[in-house]
Amino acid sequence: MNIPQNIRIMIADDHETIRQTWKILLEQDSRFQVVAECANSEEMMEQLKIDFPDIILLDINLNPSNGFETTRMILQQWPDARIIGLSLNDQAVYAKNLLLLGAKGFVTKDSSRTEMSEAIIEAMNGREYICKDVRKNMLAKR
């Protein structure tokens, strides 16, 4: 599949510093453009109606609806949405549950820029991506 040169990204996280940091890091890669930053799920749902991005980076602890509920709501309205869950927590169960809902990926907020870029490219190609810390936890639970 062809990857567009200008992948449009929305970051939805209740921490402004997290949003700004990911924006700075991601935009160092010429393929990525952060087109929206949202502080809560309501703001995000409104923004999606105005300008739908290629990729949604979604904090699973967003309010008032958490990332799991929000993923469900997004995919009901926009089944082709590419959502990558973000979390401070590296527990495998969060990643599994989010992917079961239809998200394309899961990365921790400790993930590197390289790993986030890989997750975005995989999601753009229609594949799922789980960051290495969470994959390590999945393997440890077997």
Torsion angle of alpha carbons 58, 124, 80, 106, nearest 10°? Answer: -30
Low-confidence ranges of the chain (pLDDT < 50): none
The reported pLDDT for the residue numbered 142 is: 54
The reported pLDDT for the residue numbered 90 is: 83
Q: Tell me which amino acid residue 140 is.
A: A
7-12 β-sheet, strand order: 32-38, 7-12, 55-59, 83-87, 105-108, 129-130
The reported pLDDT for the residue numbered 86 is: 95
Helix extents (H) in the chain: 16-26, 41-50, 67-77, 92-101, 113-124, 132-140
- Joined tokens for residue 7: 């992948």
Whole-number CA gyration radius for the chain: 14
The tokens 């992948």 sit on which residue? Answer: 7
The reported pLDDT for the residue numbered 3 is: 58
The reported pLDDT for the residue numbered 5 is: 73
Confidence (pTM): 0.93
Beta bridge partners of 38: 12
Sorted by where each starts, the structural domains of the chain and their CATH numbers stand as 7-140 (3.40.50.2300)
CB neighbours of residue 28 within 10 Å: 10
Cβ neighbourhood burial of 8 (10 Å; 0-12, 13-18, 19+): middle
